[in-house]
Amino acid sequence: MEGQSYLTSPEELGEIQSFIERQRPDNTKKKTMYDIKVIKRYFESIYETREIENIPATELNVQLAKVFMNVRKRNGNVYESTSLKDFQRSLQRYLNDKSSTMNILQDQVFAKSREVHIAKKRELVQQHAKGNRPQACRELTTAEEDKFFELGLFGKHDPEVLQRTVWWVLSLHFGFRARDESRKLKWGDVSISKDPETGSELLLWKAKRAQATHNERCPVQLYRAFSQHRPDEMKQLDSSFFLAINHRRQPGSQIWYNKAPLGKNENGKFLLKAAKAAKLSGNITNPSVRKTCISRLMDADIPENYVAQLSGHKNLKSLDSYKSASTAHQRKMSFVFVQEPRLLPQTKRQFNQMNHNIVSNNKTFPTPTSLQSNACFQGKQFKDRRLSFQLFSQREQKSDQSSRSTFCQKKACYLER
């Protein structure tokens, strides 16, 4: 009736909340549960037994400040500053799910806990050297991607290699969230279409495009090869996209895969196995493909709002975590300190080509003659993509050799061949 208020039943609210949770990525669910468990464990240690959503805002503000100041891992180690930020976000999701009106990220009543969080970040950097996340996964460089193709870890010649390559290329072009979206991908979700303007072929997924490139990394060619080697029964619209490998197939059989989806554990090892086989350093796992996708687009000066459309980020601020200085960026910065314009790339293409050449060649770098008017460099063997040099002036070089202990040491000074 007009003017009559409608009371929402608990059952209706529960149905709405269930719908929201079903659409939430699995990794987000797991992360939220883990972070809330950590917070509750700390609350129990200070004898706070109330449910978080039932604690008044003024008291919760104080308790959160204590969490940021004192919470530690079970082994006694401190958390990374990014983990503390994750605790904030997970707690806000938890409060939203509990229909709480509190907003710990914006409400003035929680200003003190936010100040403590900022102060704790400074302490972690100063006292514990935390903040750079050395164990976080890293992106794959173009030279390392080339190496995968050269070693046969990417390609179309083998069922495991083909499936890994299709996953890599689609994840790059479509901005997949590592294992989550690729594991849920159905065969009917991806289709071949044509560009209405150029007439060239492309792959489509949720209005995102992967243009044909007509080389070994061509998304369309890889998709067709993958289609040829899968059973006809697994080409239905609702069939799983990635399939278990048929290790008992007859010799010469062109059907490489079973009529069953690839297990989530195998799905999560796509990049890890390849990185180990190629003996790459650093933490390279499936999430590296997303970091590679976003980092390459941002390095190419693609507008951030375009990148966010591809990656699915709702807040452009979230892209800041992908702006960390890669090895290539550190190399470029080192050239700046050399103060030799000849070594500095003038365009992004020159920078990328120079970086590719340096990383691809495992050689000893000779001293550039143009630098010897100002300084002399004593190079060491190229190892793990870094060079270490001793830097000293010509005047000091002419002095007694025993004075070399006073020479200035410069680490990671990268030079072109």
What pLDDT does 369 receive?
37
Confirm whether 160 is domain-assigned: yes
Confirm whether 416 is domain-assigned: no
pTM assigned to the model: 0.60
Confidence of residue 410 (pLDDT cuts 50, 70, 90): very low
What CATH number has the domain bearing residue 285?
A: 1.10.443.10
What pLDDT does 99 receive?
87
Nearest Cα residue to 208 out of 175, 236, 185, 183: 175
Q: Does one domain contain both 151 and 283?
A: yes
Confidence of residue 62 (pLDDT cuts 50, 70, 90): very high
Q: What is the distance between the alpha carbons of residues 378 and 397, in angstroms, rounded to a whole number?
A: 11
What pLDDT does 312 receive?
78
What pLDDT does 133 receive?
58
What pLDDT does 341 receive?
57
Q: Does one domain contain both 196 and 114?
A: no
> Is residue 14 classed as helix, strand or coil in its secondary structure?
helix
Confirm whether 81 is domain-assigned: yes
Assigned token pair, 7: 């009371």
What pLDDT does 373 receive?
36
The helix (run of H) or strand (run of E) holding residue 328 is: helix 327-338
Nearest Cα residue to 240 out of 171, 156, 183, 320: 183
Q: Does one domain contain both 239 and 98?
A: no
Query: Domain residues for 73?
Result: 10-128
Q: Pick from 83, 99, 128: which residue ends a domain? A: 128
Q: What is the pLDDT of residues 11-40, one digit of tens each?
A: 776 777 778 777 777 778 888 999 999 999
For the chain, what is the domain count? 2
Q: How many other C-beta atoms are found inside a 10 Å radius of the C-beta of residue 394?
A: 11
Q: How many other C-beta atoms are found inside a 10 Å radius of the C-beta of residue 12?
A: 10
Q: Does one domain contain both 179 and 318?
A: yes
Q: Does one domain contain both 298 and 160?
A: yes
Q: What is the pLDDT of residues 191-226, one digit of tens each?
A: 999 988 888 999 999 878 888 888 899 999 999 999
Residues whose CB falls within 8 Å of the CB of residue 154, separated by 6 or more in sequence, listed in order: 145, 148, 161, 164, 165, 168, 216, 217, 274
Q: Pick from 322, 338, 361: which residue ends a domain? A: 322
What pLDDT does 1 receive?
45
Q: Does one domain contain both 217 and 94?
A: no
Q: Does one domain contain both 100 and 36?
A: yes
What length does the chain have? 417
Q: Does one domain contain both 20 and 70?
A: yes
φ, ψ (nearest 5 deg) of residue 79: -85, 155
Assigned token pair, 157: 């010649």
The mean pLDDT value for 352-377 works out to 45
Q: What is the distance between the alpha carbons of residues 94 and 366, in angstroms, rounded to a whole number?
A: 58
Q: Does one domain contain both 58 and 111?
A: yes
